[in-house]
């Protein structure tokens, strides 16, 4: 149990560092983003057309169905997340919440491995590979299909999400694997 707790702590810390490197140090994921010609003017437009914080899909579902169909056919369409009010670019609350998210993911992964009966390192590697593949296809590819999130942006999230599963699974496998003798004794 002590090795598992150490594994949770080490894995959570390394995932946090990996997230910092992937999203904070590397600028590669952001190569998929477009830039407005005038961010200040764009912010003013956002305030004018999106009066409340929240998620908007344009054309909105509250339009008459025929009007919505015409607006959709004519385009453009958009999926916009707005948060009014400023904050620090690297808000400490977000950083703490991200760390706690990693901790929750690692704890749930430990529970998953225990429920699946993982014992050998290869069990952890295979399970993290399979679960990671299912997760990114269901979530990231699903976002590309159902919410029309551009592939150029979503692929960077997919790569990160899949790497998170692999890193976590392999690290936890190092800490949670059981010696061959212990595995044999438990199966009897």
Can you give the pTM of this predicted structure?
A: 0.86
pLDDT at residue 184 in the model: 56
pLDDT at residue 185 in the model: 57
Q: Could you state, in chain order, the average pLDDT of each consecutive group of 10 residues for the chain (188 residues)?
A: 96 97 95 95 94 94 95 94 88 94 97 97 97 97 94 97 97 94 56
Classify strands 54-58 and 78-82 as parallel, antiparallel or unpaired: antiparallel
Report domain extents, the chain. 2-34+89-187
Return d(Cα 2, Cα 23) in angstroms, integer. 31
Cα separation of the two ends of the chain: 20
Measured over the CA atoms of residue 125, residue 126, residue 129 and residue 131, the dihedral's sign is negative
Measured over the CA atoms of residue 141, residue 142, residue 143 and residue 146, the dihedral's sign is positive
Return d(Cα 39, Cα 86) in angstroms, integer. 14
pLDDT at residue 186 in the model: 58
């Amino acid at each position: 149990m002590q090795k598992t707790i150490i594994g949770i702590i080490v894995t959570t810390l390394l995932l946090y560092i990996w997230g910092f490197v992937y999203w904070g140090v590397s600028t590669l994921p952001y190569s998929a983003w477009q830039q407005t010609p005038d961010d200040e003017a764009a912010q003013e437009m956002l305030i004018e057309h999106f009066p409340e914080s929240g998620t908007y899909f344009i054309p909105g579902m509250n339009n008459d169905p025929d009007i919505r169909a015409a607006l959709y056919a004519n385009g453009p369409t958009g999926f916009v997340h707005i948060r009014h009010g400023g904050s620090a670019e690297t808000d400490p609350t977000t950083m703490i919440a991200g760390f706690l998210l990693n901790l929750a993911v690692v704890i749930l992964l430990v529970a998953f491995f225990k429920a699946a009966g993982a014992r050998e390192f290869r069990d952890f590697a295979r399970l993290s590979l399979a679960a990671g593949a299912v997760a990114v296809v269901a979530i990231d590819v699903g976002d590309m299909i159902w919410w029309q999130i551009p592939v150029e942006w979503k692929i960077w999230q997919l790569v990160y999400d899949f790497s998170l599963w692999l890193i976590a699974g392999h690290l936890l496998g190092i800490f949670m694997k059981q010696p061959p003798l212990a595995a044999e004794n438990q199966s009897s």
